Amino acid sequence: MKKLLILLFSIVLVGCIQKNESTNKITPEFITDDNTPLKLATVSPKEEQFKVEWNLDTMDRGKHEYETSENSDLVIEPNYSSLQRGDVIYFNMPESELTKNPQLPRSYLGRVVGLSGETIEIQNGQVCIDNKVLDTFYGKALIRGMDEKAYFQNVDASNIENEQTTRDYFNINMEPVLVEKNTVYVLVDQWWRGIDSKDFGLLPQKEILGKVIGYSK
């Protein structure tokens, strides 16, 4: 069983690994994020900040994260100084998506995953950046915070409408995309429940309305 798990992990990483020229071995490299908290803070809004409601489950990792019907309003900082990987932003939904679906919110939430100059791809449900595995809580395809193994262990089979479609989602692929200057690549935390850069491509930074900094006290 242990050998099987190692083999499966190796298959997942096949698109994110490079050969080490000094040892001539193929080993995975990782990008981590020690700065982005799992839990959103509670803050007192300042005068220049504003509050928004968000009642979609696009960012749900199992505890209704970012849903203001289960928490308080979200506080947005419009005067942010820089963007970091892991930041959750509030942005204008691209007109291309609003044309396809006029019912979409005109302003949306998403997490910054790719920064200017980086190449982003998805291999078997795993985000890779510059051929390195994005080893974070937001770096792979999840359903309510569960990966493929956890999902099928914890969810009653009778509640799964189409098992193959669900497995396909957990193993989604996306061709490499170079993040251009003054743009970011954004993903929602629950990929199958929202609209993000997998759908509309790179997001111009000028369309960002602000960063989510916490729940309102």
User: What structural domains and CATH numbers belong to the chain?
Assistant: 29-216 (2.10.109.10)
pLDDT (tens digit per residue) in 36-90 = 999 999 999 999 999 999 999 999 999 999 999 999 999 999 999 999 999 999 9
Strand duo 30-31 + 132-134: pairing: parallel
> The tokens 């942010």 sit on which residue?
80
Read off the DSSP letter of residue 202.
P
In the chain, DSSP assigns E strands to: 17-20, 25-28, 30-31, 42-43, 50-52, 74-77, 88-92, 107-114, 119-123, 126-129, 132-134, 174-178, 183-187, 203-204, 208-216
Rounded average pLDDT over 122-127: 98
Confidence tier at 98 by pLDDT (50, 70, 90): very high
pLDDT digits (tens, 9 = 90+) for 132-173: 999 999 999 999 999 999 999 998 877 778 899 999 999 999
